[in-house]
Amino acid sequence: MKQFILKEAPDAKLNISNFELQEVDLPKPEDGQVLVRNILLSIDAANRTWMQGRTYRDQVVAGDVMPSYSVAEIVESKDPEFKKGQIVTADSFWAEYSVIESRDVNKCPDNISLPNLLSLFGIAGLTAYHGLFDVGEVKASDTVVVSAAAGSVGVYVGQLAKAIGCKVVGIAGGDTKCKKVVEELGFDGCIDYKNANLVRDLKTHCPEGIDLYFDNVGGTVLEAVLIRMKNRGRVVCCGAVSQYESSSPIGPRNIPGFVITKRLKLEGFIVMDFKEKHMEAITHMTKLLNEGKITIVEDITEGLQNAPKALVNLLNGKNFGKSMVRVAPDPYEQKMS
Ligand SMILES: NC(=O)c1ccc[n+]([C@@H]2O[C@H](COP(=O)([O-])OP(=O)(O)OC[C@H]3O[C@@H](n4cnc5c(N)ncnc54)[C@H](OP(=O)(O)O)[C@@H]3O)[C@@H](O)[C@H]2O)c1
């Protein structure tokens, strides 16, 4: 079977040449493990941070098989909890097949399409939901700004906030993305940070000031938004993708200055902090989906061989919505055809 290892850890910008495709024997599961066939790999900005050092998980170092969250099918189980043919989500790898400890495998509802298990009903939607409602305590009267607005989390932050009545302005790279966010997803506006004076344009879009900023990027974008926050505004610190490839990361220069004078609340979170509330989030988002108030946006790349390219593309802003790689055909679609 085929698998990718991280051949060489990147110094700054990740390149597809940092990975190597290998052919190895099919692994065998032992007691407490399962062998899965990976179907969809979740491509996440966080994959890049795992190469920088220990985060909420071990560092990925040269020689490691590249880890990845995935949707997979059980091929062989050495744990009575899991049966051959079951569809699961798992802490898996960039590989055709993986042996995984069964504690890192989760059963899935069978009424959700497999790509949706990674997008609206997976990390992307759940991060948007918990960040907005549980951390940001969003209110209908809020003016909400979200960065990486056309990315996997950002598209749902904006749509969830719009659905409860907020005014929503996105920040994204490029005119095409900004147009799509407004015309296809119903945001009230979107600023192209690559071609803008952010501080001025935020004032134009949000003359009343910003109540809630959902920050996916950190750096100079965060610095500009802080200038336009209302007193007692809330900043949800979800990610800092602008810094993941930088050899000398920079923070906003107005922290703590503006945090103090504007009495701001900044709070970080990891989506798994809210594991107990995932069902509540899924129920809320299913209702919105059925009411036509939310559009699912998925960006699927075909073939395991293209996994490095998909990650490099995401870090360079070439995705729209949730990025994933299809490694094997979808068994649900095969049953229907
Ligand atoms: N806290 C949590 O539990 C949690 C969970 C999931 C994700 N996250 C975070 O959420 C954010 C989104 O992650 P994702 O995996 O869903 O990726 P994504 O938003 O689908 O893609 C990343 C996007 O970031 C933007 N970007 C790249 N470089 C940038 C820069 N220098 N300045 C501004 N924007 C830049 C690009 O869009 P443009 O074209 O707009 O530049 C790119 O499309 C990341 O920061 C990630 O770490 C956090």
For 221, phi and psi rounded to 5 degrees?
A: -70, -45
pLDDT confidence of residue 282: 95
Give pLDDT tens digits for 188-214: 999 999 998 999 999 999 999 999 999
Confidence of residue 240 (pLDDT cuts 50, 70, 90): very high
pLDDT confidence of residue 248: 86
* Residue to probe by mutation, ligand 1, list 130, 132, 153, 245, most atoms within 8 Å of CB: 153
Name which of 136-140, 194-198, 234-238, 320-324 the model is least confident about.
194-198
Name which of 57-71, 128-142, 173-187, 241-255 the model is least confident about.
241-255
pLDDT confidence of residue 307: 98
Q: pLDDT exceeding 70 applies to what percent of the chain?
A: 99
Say yes or no: 279 and 183 in one domain: yes
pLDDT confidence of residue 12: 87
pLDDT confidence of residue 337: 61
Say yes or no: 278 and 304 in one domain: no
Which atom of ligand 1 is found nearest the CA of 315? Answer: 27
The pTM (predicted TM-score) of the whole model is 0.96
- Assess whether pLDDT exceeds 70 at residue 336: no
Confidence of residue 247 (pLDDT cuts 50, 70, 90): confident
- ∠ CA 58-59-60, rounded to 5°: 115
- Compute the distance between CA of residue 88 and CA of residue 105 in angstroms, rounded to an integer: 6
Token output for 194: 């690559």
Strand partners, 97: 37
- Compute the distance between CA of residue 31 and CA of residue 250 in angstroms, rounded to an integer: 46
pLDDT confidence of residue 126: 97
Give pLDDT tens digits for 24-44: 999 999 999 999 999 999 999
Token output for 204: 């134009």
pLDDT confidence of residue 196: 85
Q: Of 290, 308, 325, at which residue does a domain stop?
A: 290
Say yes or no: 189 and 328 in one domain: no
C-alpha 147 to ligand 1 mean position (Å): 8
CATH of the domain at 250: 3.40.50.720
End-to-end alpha-carbon separation of the chain, Å? 27
* Closest residue CA from atom 43 of ligand 1: 317
- Assess whether pLDDT exceeds 90 at residue 268: yes
Give pLDDT tens digits for 296-309: 999 999 999 999 99
Say yes or no: 135 and 279 in one domain: yes
pLDDT confidence of residue 243: 95
C-alpha 242 to ligand 1 mean position (Å): 8
Q: Of 254, 269, 290, at which residue does a domain stop?
A: 290
CB atoms within 10 A of CB 117: 23
Say yes or no: 114 and 131 in one domain: no
How many structural domains comprise the chain?
2
Establish whether residue 270 lines the binding site of ligand 1, counting it when its CB lies within 6 angstroms of any ligand atom.
Answer: yes
Which atom of ligand 1 is found nearest the CA of 153? Answer: 16
Q: pLDDT exceeding 90 applies to what percent of the chain?
A: 92
Say yes or no: 65 and 173 in one domain: no
- Assess whether pLDDT exceeds 80 at residue 144: yes
CATH of the domain at 105: 3.90.180.10
* Residue to probe by mutation, ligand 1, list 171, 216, 221, most atoms within 8 Å of CB: 216
* Residue to probe by mutation, ligand 1, list 127, 241, 298, most atoms within 8 Å of CB: 241
Say yes or no: 81 and 130 in one domain: no
Say yes or no: 284 and 302 in one domain: no
**Sequence-ordered list of residues with C-beta below 8 angstroms from that of 147, at least 6 positions apart, any chain:** 154, 170, 171, 172, 193, 213, 214, 215, 216, 217, 221, 222, 225
Domain containing residue 279: 123-290
Distance of CA 322 to the CA centre of its chain: 7
Q: Of 290, 306, 321, at which residue does a domain stop?
A: 290
Say yes or no: 306 and 279 in one domain: no
Say yes or no: 149 and 238 in one domain: yes
- ∠ CA 177-191-238, rounded to 5°: 85
What's the whole-number average pLDDT of the chain?
A: 96
Rounded to the nearest 10 degrees, the angle between the axes of helix 154-163 and helix 278-290 is 70
Say yes or no: 88 and 23 in one domain: yes
Say yes or no: 261 and 169 in one domain: yes
Are the beta carbons of 23 and 96 closer than 8 angstroms? no
